[in-house]
Structure 1
Amino acid sequence: MISSTKKHKLPRLLLSCVILLSLFAMPFAAAAEAVEPELNWIEGSGQKVRLSNIAELTLPENYFFLDEDDTIAFIEGFQDLPSYREIGYVEPAYEDTMWSVYFEYDETGHIEDEEKSDIDAKALLKSYKDGQEAANEELPEYNHLFVDGWFQEPAYDDSLRSLTWALLLHDIDGEPLINYNVRVLTRVGYISAILVSDPENLAADRSMFESEILPNLTVTSGNTYADFDPSKDKKSSLGLTGLILGGAGAAVAKKTGLIALITLIIKKFWFLIFAPFLWFGKLFKKKNKDTGPVQDTLPADHSGSGPDMAPNVQNYQQPSAEQPDQNRFRSKFEAENDPNNKPPTSM
């Protein structure tokens, strides 16, 4: 296993944005004090990594992983509040990709899947809309969100004991957002896999997530849905409907809001941000590697088991998942060694 202290692309971009904005608000020296925390990034090589003690993930090549403690530190590095249910974080090791996955675990008690054939998507959508309207009354206007419809209606997978759904939303400026959720039921709770992406790239990002990450997630022995013991295990009254309605909580909104903020800034101000800071960003890209282990791993041979869209987004067309933009999946290491990747000579 390779242990890596790696500089992350999102904090790097946010730091550039913060520095740009701070030029108008505070001295540059004070802005320069904002630094990314030192994190123990695990570089994928097909090894098993632990998501707390509840699950394992086979980490493919070209992916990086943070364990439970480092995921929390990573979120706190954004001056954000973690839920403290985080058990891991994964991102692809490609220069131009912006998606990532947060894993959380909630020990709610055993959730029965009796509703799997009787999920009322229409009623759930109304609950989401009503709930968001009420939430907006407590939020400043610039933080308002609006639920437009299902991007993907709730669907249950019997083999994985997983529930998947995606909401289509927009913010106060009309920018579309996607809240994509996967819940994997366990013996006495559920694992959340929260995909953070943006509408323009969601098709390609979701394809990679569903083919390279989700199938490699395995609930550990003794913690699976089938291991439930009614004689001694707590049972939840939540049900699948309650699980779906719990999916737009504060922790999810914060993580989704992070990528939404970055996407919005890139769309509107990329020419201001990247021209001054392309070279500056390289200062944060060096990876200081060592061979010391930072996390227990398991043997490599271990095995385990029509959207209702609002008018403002109806004209949006997703990129083909089968033909993603190849430039988005360029290796970070290839990009760093590109002789054409030079610092700008002018503002």
Structure 2
Amino acid sequence: MRFIKLIALAILAYALPLAAKEDAAPPLPPEAQEYLKTLNPVSGTVEIPEAKASLDLGSDYVFYGKVDASRILTEIWGNPPEAVSDVLGLVMKAGTSPFSESWGAVVTFEDVGYVSDDDAAEVDYDELLEQLQEGTIEANEVRKEMGYPTVTLVGWAARPVYDDQHHSVVWAKNLKFAGDVENSLNYDVRTLGRYGVLSVNVVSTMSELEEITTAAHELASHASFAEGARYQDFDASTDRTAEYGIGGLIAAGAGVAAAKKLGLFAILLKFIKPILLGFLVFFGVFWRKLKGVFGFGKDDSYDAEWEEYSHDDTPPDDLTGYAAPDDAEGQSVSSAETDSRES
């Protein structure tokens, strides 16, 4: 619990000056600074061996490898370890840190085989959006039964675009969760390879649409597979082929009703993990930041311990020894909650 409060203090140091529109935020607490020293963000060209791929990030972005990404998602952002087991890395803007108010892009790889792009020019994205919206409405019945807020798929935040040169597809959804002041942004970047799909997923708020749109297209154009694993290296006589094309790739995040209409119900399980991981990033950080820092939705025990800590100048000795609170208000994001919020 004290680790969580340390994180909240670090966030408060950033959030309040931003809210007041003052000068640069004060330094992080010493404990958080020491924690950052244990991480190893890198820039330039980074290899992702599990995907036989690489990302050329230049100097604008940094990459946290598999181990560091897992630590950030669990130890700092409070997500369950079992939900991040497939994460291969985390991309953030250069000059930011896991403690700052900034987006992070989760990198995964789905070993689904070669995804044909033959349908890329034929997909009716207006019709697909309607089907996704219908699926979201159906899924809301389950959300309500489980006690979670409903969600509305407002529309495309960025209409799907397929780049046949880089064999990548980029799109974003504008989502409105009941009770939230600001709409959520779910941005997807998929790069196709011979053996599967490299996924980069960002979940943030609509206020960051312009910035993340730029980042998404940069990441899409700078992702590549190693020779032999490239899209053009596909061998139809030996290689496995996915059961869907570009339309199915995008629709994989649909609700059950839309999936049935599209004949895609069987593939939902194949793509549910990276979709949920994107929401882990958002709800593990943004939701807990708001609740933990500004005080709504906390239980009495949290209030009491926060008050105790606020008068205690002694920092925790071991950052990694403290678990995220497990309360009904969602201070940490469970797999059940992310299941209910997937759209």
TM range, smaller chain: 0.5 to 0.7
Distance 1:218 1:233, change over 3 A: same
The equivalent of 1:259 in structure 2 is 282
For residues 120 and 244 of structure 2, the distance between their equivalents in structure 1, rounded to whole angstroms, comes to 13
Distance 1:64 1:120, change over 3 A: same
Query: Equivalent residues in 2 for 1:256-295 (5 A)?
Result: 256=279, 258-260=281-283, 262-263=285-286
- Pair 1:146–1:39, CA change in 2 (3 A): farther
Aligned pair 1:43/2:41, yes or no?
A: yes
User: Residue 51 of structure 2 contacts residue 198 of structure 2 at CA under 8 Å; is this kept in 1?
Assistant: no
Q: Give how far 1:105 is off.
A: 0.8
The one-letter code matched in structure 1 to 2:158 is Q
Task: Tell whether 2:7 aligns with 1:12.
Answer: yes
Once the two structures are superposed, residues 55-102 of structure 1 have per-residue CA deviations (whole angstroms, 9 ceiling, x without a partner) of 112343364322234434443442424264322211123265411111
Residues 312-331 of structure 1: pairs in structure 2 closer than 5 A: none
Q: Deviations over 1:281-309 (max 9, x none)?
A: 9x79xxxxxxxxxxxxxxxxxxxxxxxxx
Match for 1:102: what amino acid?
V
Whole-angstrom CA distance in 1 between matches of 2:96 and 2:194: 35
| Cα deviation, residue 257, structure 1 | 5.3
Name the structure 2 match of 1:147: 153
Question: 1:343 maps to which residue?
Answer: none
Matched, 1:194 2:195: no
In structure 2, which of residues 63, 66, 69 is the aligned counterpart of residue 71 of structure 1? 69
Map 1:113-132 onto structure 2 (within 5 A): 113-132=117-136
RMSD of aligned residue pairs (Cα, Å): 4.1
Amino acid at match of 1:108: V
Change in 2 beyond 3 A, CA 1:278/1:107: farther
CA contact (8 A) 1:44 1:62 kept: no
CA 1:194 to 1:242, structure 2 compared with 1: closer, same or farther past 3 Å? same
Shift in CA distance, 118/37, structure 1 to aligned 2, threshold 3 Å: farther
Is residue 2:90 matched to residue 1:89? yes
- Deviation at 1:121? 1.0
Q: Pick closer, same or farther for the CA change 1:269–1:87 going to 2, 3 Å.
A: closer
| Runs (5+) with no aligned partner, structure 2 | 13-33, 255-271, 297-305, 317-343
Task: Give the corresponding residue for 1:160.
Answer: 166
The 3-state SS of whatever aligns with 1:229 is: coil
Cα gap change, 1:280 to 1:143, in 2 (>3 Å): farther
Alpha carbons 1:42, 1:64 under 8 Å: kept: no
Secondary structure in 2 aligned to 1:135?
A: helix
TM-score normalised according to structure 2 size: 0.62
Say whether the 8 Å CA contact 2:46–2:63 is kept in structure 1.
no
Change (3 A) 1:138 1:110: same
Pick closer, same or farther for the CA change 1:53–1:202 going to 2, 3 Å. same
Contact kept? 1:154, 1:163, Cα under 8 Å: yes
Which amino acid letter does the alignment assign opposite residue 94 of structure 1?
T
> Does 1:210 pair with 2:246?
no
In the superposition, relative to structure 1, how do residues 135 and 280 fare at CA in structure 2: closer, same or farther (>3 Å)? farther
Q: What SS does the corresponding residue of 1:197 show, helix, strand or coil?
A: strand
Displacement after TM superposition at 1:272 (Å): 5.3
Give 3-state SS (helix, strand or coil) of 1:124's partner: helix
- 1:138 is aligned to 142
What are the within-5 Å matches in structure 2 for residues 235-246 of structure 1?
A: 235-246=241-252
Sequence identity (%)? 23
SS of aligned partner of 2:44: coil
Q: How many corresponding residue pairs? A: 259
1:39/1:112 Cα in 2 relative to 1: closer, same or farther (>3 Å)? farther
Distance 1:200 1:113 in 2: 32
1:124-159 CA-partner distances (Å, limit 9, x unpaired):
112212222232222323343221111112111111
Shift of 1:242: 1.0
CA distance in 2 between partners of 1:13 and 1:217 (Å): 34
Hey, what's the Cα distance between the residues in 2 that align with 1:161 and 1:196? 22
Q: Which has the higher helix share?
A: 2
Matched AA of 1:199? M
**How has the CA–CA distance of structure 1 residues 230 and 159 changed in structure 2, closer, same or farther, with 3 Å as cutoff?**
same
Residues 172, 112 of structure 1: alpha-carbon distance in 2 compared, 3 angstrom cutoff:
same
Partners of 1:242 and 1:144 in 2: CA distance: 24
Deviations 1:136-194 (A, max 9, x none): 22232334322111111211111110111111111111441111111111002111111
